[in-house]
Chains A and B, each alone.
Chain A
Amino acid sequence: ETGVTQTPRHLVMGMTNKKSLKCEQHLGHNAMYWYKQSAKKPLELMFVYNFKEQTENNSVPSRFSPECPNSSHLFLHLHTLQPEDSALYLCASSPEGLAGGLAKNIQYFGAGTRLSVL
Chain B
Amino acid sequence: GESVGLHLPTLSVQEGDNSIINCAYSNSASDYFIWYKQESGKGPQFIIDIRSNMDKRQGQRVTVLLNKTVKHLSLQIAATQPGDSAVYFCAEMYTGNQFYFGTGTSLTVIP
Contact = CB atoms under 8 A, between A and B. Distances in A.
A117 interface: no
A45 B99 contact: yes
Interface in B56-84: none
By CB atoms of chain A within 10 A, which of B31, B32, B43, B45 has the most?
B43
Contacts, number: 56
Contact of A108 (B32, B46, B91, B101): B46
Given A42-B101, A45-B98, 16 more contacts: A2-B43, A2-B45, A40-B9, A42-B4, A42-B102, A42-B104, A43-B101, A90-B43, A98-B93, A98-B96, A106-B46, A108-B46, A109-B36, A109-B44, A111-B42, A111-B43
Given A42-B4, A43-B89, A105 B45 contact: no
A107 B49 CA distance: 11
Given A90-B43, A106-B34, A109-B44, A98 B4 contact: no
Contacts of B89: 42-43
Contacts of A6: 43
Contact of A4 (B31, B36, B43, B102): B43
Nearest to B93: A105
Given A105-B93, A106-B34, A56 B45 contact: no
A48 to B, nearest CB: 7
A48 B93 CA distance: 15
A40 B101 CA distance: 12
Interface string A92-118: 100000110011011111111000000
Interface string A9-48: 0000000000000000000000000000000111101001
B43 A109 contact: yes
Contacts of B4: 42
A98 B98 contact: yes
B98 A48 contact: yes
Nearest to B5: A42
Contact of B44 (A40, A48, A90): A90
